[in-house]
Structure 1
C-alpha cells in the first residue's frame, strides 16, 4: 500500500487550518444547566476554533423525528443543537455533532433483535440499561444512517464525528450474532471460532476481517455525508499502538480508514501507558497520512475518574507532543456541568491552548524532515505476538522509540502496510524492531532500500513470518544480513552478557571502559559470513545453577565465551544492514540501561553518516521534533516532567517540570538569516562551523520552538 496523497485547493477548508478543539460531553440531566452564550464564552477562553457537542445515537440531544430515537430524559422541549450552533457561529466557532452507534435501547432490542451483538450462547451484551449493537447489523447500517441524514439535513453543523463505533463496545466480548456468522462465512468460507486462539489461522483471519468491516462502515457514512452535505467534515475516532486491548477487539485500524475521512482523528486518553503515546500517534499520522488534517483528543481527566483533572505538568507535555508532531489538540472535558468537578486544570490548559493559537503559523504546513523511519507493525502485534503483544512485540517497538528520543534523533513512524519504495525514498535509515511479520512485497522494498544506499536496522525475529503469521521456510533477510540462520533461538539468557569484541567500533561509540554489556531474554542463532563485522558476541549465563537468577559471588567468574553474534553488520548493495540477533530494543525498554540505548542509537547515527543534519545536546528527558516550512526550519524542544520511579504496574505521572539549561542545537543549514525562540521571545546569535549553525537555548521550561529563518 502507498500513503494516500490528496491535492488541497488554494483556499483551505476550515478543518485544513490549524485548529484547537474542545470535546464537550453533556451527561443526561445536565441539559438545563447549559447556557449557549456561556458555553461559547468558555470555549473562547481556550482559544478554541471549534467544539463538539452531543448529537445522537444512544440518546438524542436535539429534536429528533427518527422513530424510537430516544431523546435525553432531561431535554424537555429544548434542542441543544438548535440553541448552540447559531451562538457559536456568531462568534466564529465551528460545531461538530457527536454520534455514537455502540449501543441502543431495550425498545430497539425488542423490535429488532437482529441489530444486536450476541455472545456465543446467543445472549445480548447489556451496558447501562442498553444493549451493545453489532457493526454488521441494521442499527449501524440503516438506523444510524437515518440519524446522520437528519443531522445533516436539519442542522447547520460544521462536522460530525463518530465515537465508539466498534466491535466489542464498552469492554464486552466477541460478537457471534447471525449477521457476523453469515457475513464472515461468505467472505472467508469459515465459521467464527468459538474461542480466541492466536495460534489458529482462522482466528487470525477473523481478527483481520473485523478491521475491514469497521472500515466499510466508516466509508458508508462518509459517502452519505458527501451526497448530502460535502462541506461538512467527517471524522471517526480511533486509537493506535498502546491501546491494542481496545483497538484490536474493536476492529480499529486507521490505515484502512484514511481515504474515508476528511480529518484523521485519534484518541489519546489513557494515562497509564508510555508517556510518549501522544507523540507516537501523532508521528504515525504525520507519516502515513501526510496530506490529511490530523486531530487528537487529550483528556482533561484520568480515564476512570472522568471529573478529576490530570496533573498540569502531565497535560502540558501531553499537548506539546501533539502540536510538535503536526496534530491539532482536541481537549476532552467530561462532566463540566456536574455538581462535583475538579476545575484546577482549566487555567493552565487555557494557557497552553492560547499559546498554540499564537504559534499557529508555525504549525501550518510544517513537514517532518526526519531521515530515519521506525516501522510499526500491526500485523506483527496481532499475528505473531498474539496473546502477548507487549512482551513479544510492543516492548521491542517501545525500546527503539525510547532510544531515539533519549538520543535526540528525529524520526518518523511508518506503517508496515506502507512499506514500498515510494514511501522509503526520502529516508537514509529504516528500523524494523522485531518486525516478525512481513509480506514478500514489503520485504523486497526493504531490500531495495538497502541495495540503493540506505541502512536497514533489524532486531531478533524480523522477517521470519509472513504477514498473517505463518513461519517462513527461509527468513526474508538471510541474504541481506550476510549469513545463515541456524534454525533455532537460545532462550532463558538471564545473567548473560554481550562480549565486546571490537572496542573502537563505531557501534560502541561512547560506551567507555568496559569489556561486557548486560544481556537477557532470547536470541536468534545466526552465523555471519567473513565479510560481516561482529562487535558483540554472547557470553552465556553466569548462574549458580540452571534457572537461577544470580551467581554465587565466589563463583561469578566468566570462563565461557561463544562466537554467537549479538550484533553483526556489513554492506549490502550500495547500503548496509545491521542485525541485533538478540532482543536489544526490548531489553533497553525493560531495564533502561543507558548502554543498550546508546548501541541502538549508534546504529542509526552510523547509518545516517553525512545525511545527519541535526545534533541536539540535552538531557534524555527532552524530546525533539524537527520540521520544515517553506522559509524556515523548526526544532521543538519538549521537556518531560520527572518524578520518583515506582514499579507498581501503573505509570506514575511526572509531577515536576525541571527547567533545562544551555541546550545546544546544531543544524546543517544554508542561507540562515535569524534564529529565534518563540516561547522565550529571544533572538539567538548562531556560531558557524564547517557548514553547521549552532545555537544555545539558555533555558527550557515545558515547550520551546527554535526557529531558524
Structure 2
C-alpha cells in the first residue's frame, strides 16, 4: 500500500482525547503498543488549535504548558506509532481560543446581536483560562492562524492525515459575517437564527475547509483531510467539498435521560447517508465511549456500547473510537475490553467488506425530519435493506437503480423532480408517495398519484382509523382479523381518478379526545365507513404509484405499533413483489443489511432487541432468512463468520432458505 493511498483501505481508528494535565503520563512506546493490541491501525491525536502539542512559533497559537521540557513529545509519539504500523492523523480544533488571544485580536471572535463574545466555561471550577468561540469567517480560522499552523506542523512532522474537530459554523453577528451574508444573499443578515438562509452554515464551512485543504495540499499533497457530515444536515455536498474522507458522529447520548434516548438506528442511518456520497473509501463513524460529555469519564453500558458499535461496519462504515484519555488514564476499563473485542471482529471481516456494494432494491429519498425518520425506523425494524438518496443526488439514473422509491411527506416537488418521477414510473419503477408534498404543479402531481387535482388538507385528526377495503387486500396481510388499524394526524382529502384502486379508507373520529373515555356506552362510531382514500394504487406505464394521503411515517415515529410496522412491510411486499431481495423473521430491534463483494453475498445481522439502554445482550434464536435466488443462482455454502460457523440451507425455485441458530450482538453471514 502506498503512503498516498493508505486511507482507502479498511481503517480502525482510536482517538485518545488526551487531557492536557495528563500530558506527563504519556509513554509513546507503551501507548503505541497498547493501541496496536486493541487492533487499531490508525490513531487520531491532538496537534494544534486550542492547544499546540508541539513548540509552535505561530503567534497566538497556545502551546500546551504541560509539554515536557527538552523533548519533542509529538515527534516521539508519531515515531512510536509508525514503528508499530499505525498511521497518525493530526487533530486540530480552531473553533475556540484562550481569552488572552481575544484581548489581543478581538476581531477573530464570535459576536452575538449585542456584540458580546461567546464564552465557554465561565463557571467551570478550577484554575482554567476562559475559552471563547472563534468566527469561521475571520483570520483565526483562516489565513492568519489556522493556515500557518497547518503549514508549520505538516512541514515539521510526518503526519499521515488531518482531522478538524468542531469545524462547523457558529452563529455570529460580527462585521465579517454580516458583510459576507449580504454579499451572498443580497440582503442584511437577520438577527434571528430561524430567519437565516438555510445554506449559510454549510456554505461558510465549505469555504473554510476548502481553504484549509488547499493549504494542506500545498505542503503535503498526499495527506487526506477527514471531514465531518451530519445526519440532519441536508447539504451533504458542502460537507463533502474540501475533504477526502467523510466522517460522522452518531453519539449515543444517554445522559439526556431515558425519555430522550437516541433512536436505535442513528448509527445505521448516519453511515447510509455517508455512503451515498462516499467515493474512494467508506465513511467513518465516530462513537464516543461515554454516555454523554457530562459523564465522559465513565463508559457506556457494555451491551448498549457493543450494539451501537456493531452498526457502523454492518452498514458499510469504518469505526472510529473516541476515548477520554489513553489506556493508562481511562478509569472505566470496561471500555478497553469492548473496543478491543469490536476491533478484533472488524479486523476479521475487513477484507470481506472492503469494496462491498450495498444490495438494496428500495431507496428512501432523504429529508431530515419525522416524515423520513419514521420510514427509516420501519424499514430497519422490518429488516428491509434500503439505501438513502439525498435530495441533491436524486437524479433519474440514480432512481432507476431501485425497484421501489419512497417519497416521504413534505418532500419538495419542483417541475424537474416531478418529471423524473414520471419517467421513473413509466419505465417500470414503483413509487410510494406519502402525505402532503411541497410545491409542484398540482394537476400534474395529481395525475401521477392517480387522484383528482382538487384536494383539501384536514385538521389534525385523533380517534380515527384506517379501514382496509376489498377482499384479498395485499395491505391487510397478517391483519386479516381486523378491518381497522389506528390512525392519527392530517389527511389529504382527495378523490381517486378513474382507473385507480382504493385499498384503504378513513374512518373519521368518533369523538373529540376529551370524551373518548367516558362514558363507554357512547363510544359507537357515528360514521363507520367513508370513501375518503388512505391508500390509492395507480398503474402508469410499466410501473405504478402507491399514494398514501396520510403520514404512515409519523405514526411509526410516534407510536411504534405493530400494525403500522406490518402495514409498511405489506407495502414493501406489494410494490417490490417477487423482486423483494430478502425476508427475515420480523423481530423489532433486529437489523439486517445485505452486500455483494465479488461472488459472495454478505449479510449482517445486528441484535438490538430489548429495552434500551441495553443492560445485557438478549440472544435471539432460530432466525429464518430467505434470499431471492436471483441474487446467487448457485449456492455452495452459507457460513456465519463471527458466531455460528457453517449453516445448513435449502434451495427452491425462488429462494435460498437457512436458519440462524443464535445471535448475541452481531453476525455476518457469507454466502457463496
| TM-score bracket relative to the smaller structure | over 0.9
- Give the whole-Å Cα distance in 2 for the aligned partners of 1:705 and 1:366: 13
After superposition, residues 137-148 of structure 1 pair within 5 angstroms as 137-142=138-143, 143-148=145-150
- Give the whole-Å Cα distance in 2 for the aligned partners of 1:680 and 1:144: 48
Which residue of the other structure, out of 48, 58, 74, is the alignment partner of 1:56? 48
**Corresponding residue for residue 448 of structure 1:** 423
- Give the whole-Å Cα distance in 1 for the aligned partners of 2:573 and 2:513: 38
- Give the whole-Å Cα distance in 1 for the aligned partners of 2:221 and 2:458: 58
* CA deviations over 1:546-603 (Å, ceiling 9, x no partner): 7645453101112313211111111122211111111211112211111111212221
**Corresponding residue for residue 397 of structure 1:** 372
- Give the whole-Å Cα distance in 1 for the aligned partners of 2:330 and 2:274: 36
C-alpha distance 291-605 of structure 1, shift in aligned 2 (>3 A)? farther
**Corresponding residue for residue 304 of structure 2:** 314
**Corresponding residue for residue 267 of structure 1:** 249
**Corresponding residue for residue 221 of structure 2:** 230
Conserved in 2, the CA contact under 8 Å of 1:215 and 1:257?
Answer: yes
Matched, 1:640 2:608: yes
Conserved in 1, the CA contact under 8 Å of 2:588 and 2:609?
Answer: no
**Corresponding residue for residue 514 of structure 1:** 482
- Give the whole-Å Cα distance in 1 for the aligned partners of 2:652 and 2:330: 59
C-alpha distance 32-509 of structure 1, shift in aligned 2 (>3 A)? same
**Corresponding residue for residue 90 of structure 1:** 83
**Corresponding residue for residue 156 of structure 1:** 158
1:214 positional shift: 0.7
**Corresponding residue for residue 102 of structure 2:** 109
1:345 positional shift: 2.3
**Corresponding residue for residue 369 of structure 1:** 359
SS in 1 for 2:81: helix
Conserved in 2, the CA contact under 8 Å of 1:24 and 1:333?
Answer: yes
* CA deviations over 1:264-302 (Å, ceiling 9, x no partner): 111122433101100111111122325433211011111
Matched, 1:177 2:174: yes
- Give the whole-Å Cα distance in 2 for the aligned partners of 1:405 and 1:126: 41
**Corresponding residue for residue 210 of structure 1:** 201
**Corresponding residue for residue 469 of structure 1:** none
C-alpha distance 671-11 of structure 1, shift in aligned 2 (>3 A)? farther
**Corresponding residue for residue 165 of structure 1:** 167
Conserved in 2, the CA contact under 8 Å of 1:500 and 1:535?
Answer: yes
C-alpha distance 65-641 of structure 1, shift in aligned 2 (>3 A)? farther
* CA deviations over 1:510-564 (Å, ceiling 9, x no partner): 1121121111111111221131111211111111x57645453101112313211
Matched, 1:33 2:33: no
1:111 positional shift: 2.8
- Give the whole-Å Cα distance in 2 for the aligned partners of 1:533 and 1:260: 49
C-alpha distance 504-312 of structure 1, shift in aligned 2 (>3 A)? same
SS in 2 for 1:44: helix
Matched, 1:254 2:241: no
Conserved in 2, the CA contact under 8 Å of 1:262 and 1:293?
Answer: no
Which residue of the other structure, out of 273, 281, 284, is the alignment partner of 1:295? 284
- Give the whole-Å Cα distance in 2 for the aligned partners of 1:12 and 1:82: 21
1:477 positional shift: 2.4
Which residue of the other structure, out of 313, 324, 328, is the alignment partner of 1:323? 313
**Corresponding residue for residue 585 of structure 1:** 553
Conserved in 2, the CA contact under 8 Å of 1:19 and 1:328?
Answer: yes
Conserved in 1, the CA contact under 8 Å of 2:31 and 2:327?
Answer: no
**Corresponding residue for residue 559 of structure 1:** 526
**Corresponding residue for residue 605 of structure 1:** 573
**Corresponding residue for residue 662 of structure 1:** 622
Q: If the length of structure 2 is used for normalisation, what is the TM-score?
A: 0.93
Q: Which is further off, 24-33 or 486-495?
A: 486-495
1:339 positional shift: 6.4
Q: If the length of structure 1 is used for normalisation, what is the TM-score?
A: 0.88
**Corresponding residue for residue 622 of structure 1:** 590
Which residue of the other structure, out of 417, 420, 432, is the alignment partner of 2:392? 417
SS in 2 for 1:494: strand
C-alpha distance 546-473 of structure 1, shift in aligned 2 (>3 A)? farther
C-alpha distance 477-591 of structure 1, shift in aligned 2 (>3 A)? same
1:152 positional shift: 1.1
1:440 positional shift: 3.2
C-alpha distance 144-296 of structure 1, shift in aligned 2 (>3 A)? same
- Give the whole-Å Cα distance in 2 for the aligned partners of 1:551 and 1:420: 53
Conserved in 2, the CA contact under 8 Å of 1:326 and 1:363?
Answer: yes
**Corresponding residue for residue 186 of structure 1:** 183
C-alpha distance 374-22 of structure 1, shift in aligned 2 (>3 A)? same
**Corresponding residue for residue 573 of structure 1:** 541
1:396 positional shift: 2.1
- Give the whole-Å Cα distance in 1 for the aligned partners of 2:286 and 2:396: 32
Conserved in 2, the CA contact under 8 Å of 1:566 and 1:580?
Answer: yes
Matched, 1:278 2:278: no
Conserved in 1, the CA contact under 8 Å of 2:463 and 2:513?
Answer: no
SS in 1 for 2:503: strand
C-alpha distance 340-348 of structure 1, shift in aligned 2 (>3 A)? closer
SS in 1 for 2:544: strand
Matched, 1:118 2:111: yes
1:474 positional shift: 2.8
C-alpha distance 291-478 of structure 1, shift in aligned 2 (>3 A)? farther
Which residue of the other structure, out of 482, 490, 494, is the alignment partner of 2:450? 482
How many residues were matched structurally?
650
* CA deviations over 1:36-74 (Å, ceiling 9, x no partner): 112112211220000111111111111211112111121
Conserved in 2, the CA contact under 8 Å of 1:300 and 1:345?
Answer: yes
Conserved in 2, the CA contact under 8 Å of 1:311 and 1:345?
Answer: no
**Corresponding residue for residue 127 of structure 2:** none
- Give the whole-Å Cα distance in 1 for the aligned partners of 2:75 and 2:375: 50
Q: Which is further off, 424-433 or 472-481?
A: 472-481
Which residue of the other structure, out of 221, 225, 240, is the alignment partner of 2:231? 240
**Corresponding residue for residue 72 of structure 2:** 79
* CA deviations over 1:91-115 (Å, ceiling 9, x no partner): 1001111001111122322332221
* CA deviations over 1:422-445 (Å, ceiling 9, x no partner): 211210100112143244323322
1:209 positional shift: 2.0
SS in 2 for 1:412: strand
Matched, 1:705 2:672: no
* CA deviations over 1:439-488 (Å, ceiling 9, x no partner): 432332222211211111121113x23xxxxxx57376222101135443
Q: Which is further off, 328-337 or 295-304?
A: 328-337
**Corresponding residue for residue 390 of structure 1:** none
Conserved in 2, the CA contact under 8 Å of 1:496 and 1:539?
Answer: yes
- Give the whole-Å Cα distance in 1 for the aligned partners of 2:72 and 2:92: 16
Q: Which is further off, 600-609 or 481-490?
A: 481-490
**Gaps (5+ residues) in structure 2?**
122-129, 254-260
C-alpha distance 322-546 of structure 1, shift in aligned 2 (>3 A)? closer
